[in-house]
């Protein structure tokens, strides 16, 4: 049985909002590389929430930029924000794996500033998606 679109979108945005709490927490007290990764995940889940709420049955991929393009088919604002929010894609791999940051490790490379900026972008994605899902 296929989930009802609004309910499925709500499940995804709720998880994005929960993950955002943890990303904010880590961006303040440490674990900055994980905060950056979680921010990317928050944006990805929020954008998928929007697509599911519009009736998409299968949403694949992890790229915030690509998901913005797909969401842009429903709402132009996503295409306009795609390059800005797409910055979060740069946190998908290098925040987790040492081979993503030559000669160092993610825990040393990603600091408080990067974490706060990533979380700020993720907050904006969630805020926009939540508002559009309520329309």
Average pLDDT score over residue span 58-75: 97
- Position 2 scores a pLDDT of 78
For residue 128, give every residue at least 6 positions away whose Cβ sits within 8 Å of its Cβ, in sequence order, or none: 77, 81
User: Which residue has tokens 């740069």?
Assistant: 90
- Position 57 scores a pLDDT of 92
Q: How far is CA 43 from CA 2, 29, 70, 101, 102, in A?
A: 24, 21, 14, 22, 26
pTM: 0.96
The span from the CA of 77 to the CA of 69, in Å, is: 10
Structural domains of the chain, ranges and CATH numbers in brackets: 5-134 (1.20.120.330)
Which pLDDT tens digit goes with each residue over 74-118? 999 999 999 999 999 999 999 999 999 989 999 999 999 999 999
Q: Give yes or no for residue 1 having a pLDDT over 80.
A: no
Torsion of CA 84, 101, 28, 87, to 10 degrees: 0
Which pLDDT tens digit goes with each residue over 18-46? 999 999 999 999 999 999 999 999 999 99
- Position 10 scores a pLDDT of 98
The span from the CA of 112 to the CA of 9, in Å, is: 31
């Amino acid at each position: 049985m296929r989930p009802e679109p609004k309910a499925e979108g709500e499940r995804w945005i709720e998880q994005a909002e929960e993950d955002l709490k943890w990303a904010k927490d880590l961006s303040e007290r440490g674990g900055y590389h994980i905060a950056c990764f979680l921010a990317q995940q928050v944006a990805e889940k929020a954008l998928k929430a929007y697509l599911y709420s519009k009736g998409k049955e299968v949403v694949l991929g992890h790229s915030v930029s690509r998901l913005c393009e797909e969401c842009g088919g429903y709402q132009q604002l996503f295409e306009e924000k795609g390059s800005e929010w797409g910055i979060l894609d740069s946190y998908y791999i290098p925040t987790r794996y040492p081979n993503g940051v030559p000669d160092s490790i993610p825990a040393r490379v990603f600091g408080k500033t990067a974490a706060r900026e990533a979380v700020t972008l993720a907050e904006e994605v969630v805020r926009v998606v939540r508002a559009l899902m309520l329309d």
